[in-house]
Structure 1
Amino acid sequence: MLKVENIDVFYGNIQALHNVTIEVNEGEIVTLIGANGAGKSTLLKTLSGLLKPKKGKIEFLGKSISGKAAQTIVKSGISHVPEGRRVFSNLTVEENLELGAFLRKDKAGISSDLNKVYETFPRLLERKKQLSGTLSGGEQQMLAIGRAIMAKPKLVLLDEPSMGLAPLMVQTIFKVIEEINNDGATVLLVEQNAHMALSVANRGYVIETGKVVLSGPSAELQSSEEVKLAYLGG
Structure 2
Amino acid sequence: MLKVNGIDVFYGNIHALKGVSLEINEGEIVTLIGANGAGKSTLLKTLSGLLKPKSGSIEYLGSSISGKAPQSIVKSGISHVPEGRRVFANMSVEENLELGAYLRKDSKEIKKDIQSVYELFPRLEERRKQLSGTLSGGEQQMLAMGRAIMAKPKLLLLDEPSMGLAPLMVKTIFQIIEKINQDGTTILLVEQNANMALSVADRAYVIETGRVEISGTAAELQASEEIKKAYLGGL
TM range (shorter): over 0.9
Q: Which consecutive segments of 4 or more residues in structure 1 shift more than 3 A?
A: none
Aligned to 1:161: 161
Structure 2: 5+ residue runs without aligned partners? none
Q: Please list, as runs of the form range in 1=range in 2, the aligned pairs for 1:18-167 lying within 5 A after superposition.
A: 18-167=18-167
Q: CA deviation at 1:105?
A: 1.1
Query: What is the CA–CA distance in structure 2 between the aligned matches of 1:226 and 1:37, rounded to whole Å?
Result: 20
What is the Cα deviation at residue 87 of structure 1?
A: 0.2
In the TM superposition, what whole-angstrom CA distance separates every residue of 1:120-144 from its partner, at most 9, and x where no partner exists? Answer: 1111001010100000000000000
- Provide the residue aligned with 2:171 in structure 1: 171
Can you give the 5+ residue segments of structure 1 that lack an aligned partner in the other structure? none
In the alignment, does 2:188 pair up with 1:188? yes
How large is the RMSD of aligned CA atoms in angstroms?
Answer: 0.5
How far is 1:106 from its partner? 1.4
TM-aligned CA deviation for residue 163 of structure 1 = 0.2
Letter in 2 for 1:55: S
C-alpha distance in structure 1 between counterparts of 2:226 and 2:108, whole Å: 50
- Secondary structure of 2:71's aligned partner: helix
- The CA deviation at 1:108 is 2.2
Q: What's the CA shift string for 1:94-134, capped at 9, x where partnerless? A: 00000000001112221111111101111100101010000
Matched letter for residue 207 of structure 1:
I
Aligned to 2:227: 227
Q: Which amino acid aligns with 1:130?
A: Q
TM-score using structure 1 length: 0.99
How many Å separate the matches in 1 of 2:166 and 2:114? 26
Distance across 1 between alignment mates of 2:190 and 2:131: 28
101-110 or 206-215: bigger deviation: 101-110
Residue 218 of structure 2 aligns with an amino acid whose one-letter code is: S
The amino acid across from 1:233 in the alignment is: G
Secondary structure of 1:84 counterpart: coil
